[in-house]
Amino acid sequence: MQSHAFIPDENPTRVDHAGFYRRWLSMIDDMAYLQTYVNRVSGTNEEDWVPLWREAGKNYENEGDELEAENKFKEARTSYLQARTYYSIGRFPGAVSDMKKSISDDCNRAYAKSCAHLDPSVQEVIIEHQGYQIKCHLRVPNTDGHHAAVLIMCGADMFKEDRGWAGDFCLDNDMVALIMDAPGTGDNLLPWAPASVSAWIAAVDYLAALPSVDRERIGAFGISRGGYSVMQLAGHYPEKIKAVVASAGHHFGYKMTDQELQDYVDARSNRSQYKFGPKDGPLTFPEWSVHKENSLYKEWALPEQGVLDNITMPILMINGKKDHLAPIGNIYYMLEHGPALGREARIYPDAGHCAFKYFSSWAPDSFKWLKEKLTRE
């Protein structure tokens, strides 16, 4: 890990807990190996980007194949998960072109190999909703009885193959896990819009109908855009959602000061200099503006949707105080708008978006917290 001043940006030539690679750092075993490939980044256009990260992933996948042939399944799983992670970097921000779809297939293949010998297994299930067939991953404990269940809600650029660890944490706490891509990403082709909360509702209904699930003990967990989505879901479906964990999230309802708003717009616009698709294709991240941000607030903010007061179940919120993409004011807003009891927060003063710097602490604790809140008295 490079040591330098805190710079929460999207520069892919630098490794920092608050920077571009924050999404994957908790899943990477060898930081020196990552740095070797970061040092070789010559551009983010897919013609430069995809081959580099495919090479990084293929080395690990080949290693996994060799270990698999020797029946060293645990070691092979580790190598396959590393391969998945590097293919995921190459896929970022999603399968937006044929080349990105190709490395997305590599990512899915490596993840499938990593799951080959898991017990309980990773089950592929289909949720049918509004004419779409949404492929999800389901993990069910081997123990008898009706279990608490957690809907793992993915974000804008990290998909269900990147969130397998969340399923592992659910099993560690004897809970069922359903991992689902966010609308408009991965295997969820329902367009991303405020009304697409209906897809998450369909996922909750799917969980509630499983014979292994106690329908009165269903919670939700999300990171980044997924952090917003768990709150939105809780507001729209409070009769079914009994506890939620949100790592980051925006727009809960917090209105930024003029200076915060300008800093936020500048941070979002900064991303537009990095094009991760075809060289001649459109911008991956468009320029931001105060007008656009204000328009999105009116469309997405929980009070604007009329659901803020419905969120009365226990909630745990996590973030770094220096988050440049989901202002920390969102957490303070939720702490101040709702029941006096039942709302908790972990705020890390020296961390950025989603507090990935402290992932090894808050991630396992989140599922212990959900287990506690979803236990019948």
| pLDDT for res 8 | 62
Question: Does pTM top 0.85 for this prediction?
Answer: yes
Least Cα distance to 228 among 154, 320, 321, 164 occurs for 154
Shared-domain flag, residues 225 and 323: yes
What is the C-alpha to C-alpha distance for residues 361 and 347, in angstroms, rounded to an integer? Answer: 12
Q: What is the DSSP string of 100-134?
A: HHHHHHHHHHHHHHHTTT-SS--EEEEEEETTEEE
Asked whether residue 278 is domain-assigned, the answer is: no
114, 148, 165 — which closes off a domain?
114
Residues 49 and 105 in one domain: yes
Q: Which of 114, 131, 148 is the last residue of a domain?
A: 114
Asked if residue 230 belongs to a domain, the reply is yes
- Domain check: are 221 and 73 in the same one? no
Task: With respect to residue 127, please indicate whether it lies within any of the assigned structural domains.
Answer: yes
Are residues 215 and 325 part of one domain? yes
The rounded distance, in Å, linking the Cα atoms of 137 and 139 is 7
Confirm whether 41 is domain-assigned: yes
Structural domain includes residue 195: yes
Residue-by-residue pLDDT tens, the chain, 377 positions:
443 344 567 899 999 888 999 999 999 999 999 999 999 999 999 999 999 999 999 999 999 999 999 999 999 999 999 999 999 999 999 988 999 999 999 999 999 999 999 999 999 999 999 999 999 999 999 999 999 999 999 999 999 999 999 999 999 999 999 999 999 999 999 999 999 999 999 999 999 999 999 999 999 999 999 999 999 999 999 999 999 999 999 999 999 999 999 999 999 998 899 999 998 888 898 899 999 999 999 999 999 999 999 999 999 999 999 999 999 999 999 999 999 889 999 999 999 999 999 999 999 999 999 999 999 76
Residue 98 in domain = yes
214 plus 107 within the same structural domain: no
Instruction: Mark out the alpha helices in 157-257 (DSSP H runs).
Output: 164-172, 197-209, 225-236
Burial bucket for residue 19 (CB in 10 Å: 0-12, 13-18, 19+) = buried
Same domain, 102 and 128: no
Q: Are residues 198 and 82 in the same domain?
A: no
Domain count, the chain: 2
Domain that holds residue 54: 22-114
Residues 184 and 107 in one domain: no
Instruction: Output the domain CATH number for residue 180.
Output: 3.40.50.1820
Final residue in a domain of this structure, among 63, 93, 114:
114
Q: Cis ω on the peptide bond leading into residue 146 (within 30° of 0)?
A: no
In a domain, 87, yes or no: yes
- Do 99 and 223 lie in one domain? The reply is no
**Residue 292 domain-assigned (yes or no):** no
Q: What is the pLDDT of residue 3?
A: 39
Query: Does residue 162 share a domain with residue 247?
Result: yes
Identify whether residues 85 and 227 lie together within a single domain.
Answer: no
Quick one: 88 and 131 in the same domain?
Answer: no
Yes or no: say if 139 and 170 are a contact pair by the CB < 8 Å rule: yes
